[in-house]
Structure 1
């Protein structure tokens, strides 16, 4: 059941963010300076932007440390998922990889 929940969360973690990003990219192109400007144009947007940036850094450090401790290979896949989609996709993907490797996430 836990594996299925992680699969659903991974799917939601890619579909929901892209649901908002894709129309924006269609309208504006892949204009990174504009994206950053719009993200940080309000206090609440800046709050969420900074929160996600810090969360991504923490997640990448966790993935590297945990995967090396467990002797996992290919953990870089979860890091790529984090940088290409976001924490909402990278974290459930890593937890799925960890479960398949044999590690418990019930610490």
Structure 2
């Protein structure tokens, strides 16, 4: 791959606005986000999402694609790590009965 194509791909793959969906089956509160490699302060995403609810989120900024998303649910803190926010339109946060967390993308 030529250098020009690599630069174009890097510019094209930046985190954009996305729709966040609560696919956990329960309410999520105190949503926040940070870049995965930051390990610093969390930025608020919103007060929460009811089960099955959707919210349009603005671009989190930066050039990295991987973000951690944190939420409160039934007194527990849940963190979805390394969520890819590049080249996606819909991010569904999911949680299994055993507590396993995963993300589905559209």
Q: Which has a greater percent of strand?
A: 2
Structure with more contact order per residue of length (Cα contacts < 8 Å, sep ≥ 6): 1
Q: TM-score, normalised by structure 1?
A: 0.30
Q: TM-score, normalised by structure 2?
A: 0.30
